Each structure stands twice: as C-alpha cells, then as structure tokens.
C-alpha cells in the first residue's frame, strides 16, 4: 500500500484524485478525458497533470482514448479506508517533522513538548464527555481503529481463540480488536476497558455489527481501578508502547489479577523498527513518529515474569513494521 504514498507530492495527488471523485469515477468504468473533466470539475491542464502523475504511480493506465484504474490499484482499493486514514494522518502530522526535525532526531522529550502529535493523542480529553471531546477523541480513534481492523487479521492467523469463553481487552479503544475476534469465534464474550469518551465512541463503533451484543464497554482507569475477574484471556493490543515501563508493569499486574487460574495474557504490539531497506514512506509518518516507543521483546518478558506469569512465548510477525505476538499463562 505504501507504494502509493511514498512521497509528499505523490500522496497529495492521490488525495486530490479521491477528493475530486476521479477514483470513484474510474472505479465504475473506464472514461475518456472529456467525461473525466466533467466528473471531476477540473480544468484541462489540471486533469492532464493529475492523470500523468497517477499513471507514473501505477494508479491509472491509458488505453487508446480511455483511462482506467490499474489492476494493482483496484486491489489496493479494497483497503481504501486504510489508504485514506494514512493520508489524513500523515498530512496532519507532517508539520511536526517540517518544523521540528532537529529535535525529533536529538531530544524525544523536547519533541514531545513542541510537536502536535501528542496533542492529537491527548488522553485527558477522553475523561469527560462533551461534544467537543467526543469529536476530538473520535478523530484519533479513526486511525487506531483502521489500523487494528487489518492488523487483527495477523493476530487471528497466528493464535487460536477457540478455547476461551471470555476475553478482556485493556485499552481496547473502539473495540475493533475484539470485534474482529468475536466475528470469528461466536462463543466469545468480550469486555473492553478504556477511558469514558473512548468507550462512548466505541459503543457506537460496534453497534451496527451482529456481535455487538457480545461486546461490553467498561469505562475506567486500568492503572488503578479494580477490573473484572475470572477472565479466560486478557489482551493488550498496541497500547503498552504508549506508556512508561512502570505503567506497563502495573497494567500487566492488573491483567494477572483479572485472570482466572490458568488463564492467558496476550500482547500484540509493535516491535522495534529494523534498519530501513528502502526509503521510509510519507504515508507511514503516524507509525514512524513513535519509533522510540517500540520496545524489545525481552522487556515484555521480564515484566511478565515479574508479575508471576509463566509459559511465555514470543512470535515475531512481519506486517508494515514487525509485531510481537506474546502469550503467557497465569499459574
């Protein structure tokens, strides 16, 4: 997918093709230049400029007098929500690099203070429900939910959930992770623990799905609140990297207390980003800005052992960036 979001100009022109309706028009049928100009409300030079760039990006191909989407881009359109989310958030966060590249490379604390990235993910805005806080929180939840929608498939492909009767996802965001899991495992009842506004947005997010009645949201602070007990499985999906090690230790201890005897903990979390073999894509900004937060597996292993877990198993799964799938058992 990142082949279509490699650099700034390529990404903006693809965004323009979406915004102008060119992609939707060609998704229906091939079209000539005259009809495309009417459909997109562009002028002649602007349309030809756009089409020329899209041809070079392998989004569009020209046959005789007609233009059509390439087979490769038609396949990529299956993930349109992910494409558009990556474009939106890359554009939102790019000014942080444009204005603060020096501190990004030299001082994480200063970068956090001066960048907009951490304003976007301001969890304090998720504590109290107001129309403004709901809109603000829903904006960043759109990105995390879209990423999880596709990342969850890799977890499901590498872990069998059939033995569990219930699952609790701590920091479960919109419920997208358990939404994907419960869709495949109809015996599962799921609980999502997160901040109040996140739970409010999440309840709406899952409401139209058949398994919504098996997904329950509990607003709270998983660092201090007593969590539901007798759980077969507790999960952490892309949350622990957001927190210092001391907080991660507390989360894992809370999970241990919530599990029934012989219950399991599952961590699905980004691993450290390996050395680049190609230039990093513009569309990956929202992931790459957190590169210092992705921890080695041994840190999670030590935290789990300290909390009393055993049978710790660690798999590495290659996605856009590597992920760890870590499981451990409460004895």
Q: Determine the pLDDT at residue 108.
A: 87
116-120, 155-159, 182-186: least confident range? 116-120
CATH 3.40.50.150 fits 150-330, yes or no: yes
Could you read off the pLDDT of 255-302 as tens digits, one per residue?
999 999 999 999 999 999 999 988 999 999 988 988 999 999 999 999
Looking up tokens 């870590």 gives 326
pLDDT band at 125, cuts 50/70/90?
Answer: confident
Q: Determine the pLDDT at residue 177.
A: 96
Integer angstrom CA distances of residue 49 from 16, 27, 31, 34, 269: 11, 20, 16, 14, 41
The CA distance from 37 to 6, in Å, is 26
Q: Which CATH architecture has domain 2-79?
A: Orthogonal Bundle (1.10)
Strands across the sheet containing 66-69: 31-32, 66-69, 60-63
Could you read off the pLDDT of 205-230 as tens digits, one per residue?
999 999 999 999 999 999 999 999 99
Q: Determine the pLDDT at residue 62.
A: 94
111, 100 contact by CB (below 8 A)? yes
Could you read off the pLDDT of 186-202 as tens digits, one per residue?
999 999 999 999 999 99
114-125 mean pLDDT = 77
| pLDDT value at 71 more than 90 | yes
Q: Determine the pLDDT at residue 153.
A: 94
Q: Determine the pLDDT at residue 224.
A: 94
The separation between CA 65 and the C-alpha centre of its own chain, rounded to angstroms, equals 40
For the chain, what is the mean pLDDT?
94
The CA distance from 159 to 299, in Å, is 22
Q: Determine the pLDDT at residue 211.
A: 95
Could you tell me the residue ranges of all domains in the chain?
2-79, 150-330
User: Quick check: do 2-79 and 150-330 share a fold?
Assistant: no
pLDDT band at 28, cuts 50/70/90?
Answer: very high
Looking up tokens 């403004």 gives 132
Residue 87, CA atoms < 13 Å, CB-side half-sphere = 21
Q: State the DSSP string of 255-300.
A: HHHHEEEEEEEEEEEEPPPPPPSSPPPGGGHHHHTTGGG---HHHH
pLDDT band at 320, cuts 50/70/90?
Answer: confident
Q: What backbone torsions phi and psi does residue 32 show, to the nearest 5 degrees?
A: -90, 175
């Amino acid at each position: 997918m990142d082949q279509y979001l490699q650099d700034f100009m390529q990404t903006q022109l693809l965004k323009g093709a979406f915004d102008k309706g060119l992609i939707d028009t060609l998704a229906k049928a091939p079209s000539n230049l005259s009809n495309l100009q009417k459909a997109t409300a562009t002028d002649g030079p602007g349309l030809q400029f756009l089409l020329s760039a899209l041809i070079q990006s392998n989004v569009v191909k020209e046959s005789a007098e007609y233009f059509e989407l390439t087979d490769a881009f038609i396949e990529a359109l299956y993930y349109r929500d992910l494409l558009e989310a990556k474009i939106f958030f890359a554009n939102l966060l790019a000014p942080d690099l444009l204005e603060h590249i020096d501190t990004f490379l030299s001082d994480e604390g200063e970068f956090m203070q001066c960048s907009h990235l951490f304003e976007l993910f301001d969890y304090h805005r998720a504590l109290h429900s107001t129309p403004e806080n709901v809109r603000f929180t829903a904006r960043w939840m759109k990105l995390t939910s879209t990423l999880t929608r596709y990342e969850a498939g890799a977890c499901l492909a590498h872990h069998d959930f059939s033995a569990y009767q219930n699952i609790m996802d701590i920091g479960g965001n919109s419920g997208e992770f358990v939404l994907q899991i419960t869709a495949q495992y109809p015996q599962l009842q799921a609980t999502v623990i997160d901040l109040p506004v996140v739970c409010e947005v999440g309840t709406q997010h899952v409401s139209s799905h058949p398994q919504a009645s098996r997904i329950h949201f509990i607003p709270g602070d998983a660092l201090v609140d007593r969590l539901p007990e007798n759980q077969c499985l507790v999960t952490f999906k892309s949350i622990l990297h957001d927190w210092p090690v001391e907080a991660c230790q507390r989360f894992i201890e809370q999970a241990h207390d919530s599990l029934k005897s012989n219950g399991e903990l599952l961590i699905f979390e980004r691993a450290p980003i390996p050395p680049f073999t190609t230039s990093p894509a513009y569309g990956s900004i929202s992931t790459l800005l957190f590169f210092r937060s992705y921890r080695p597996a041994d840190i999670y292993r030590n935290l789990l052992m300290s909390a009393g877990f055993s049978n710790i198993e660690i798999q590495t799964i290659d996605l856009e960036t590597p992920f760890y799938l870590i499981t451990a058992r409460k004895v």
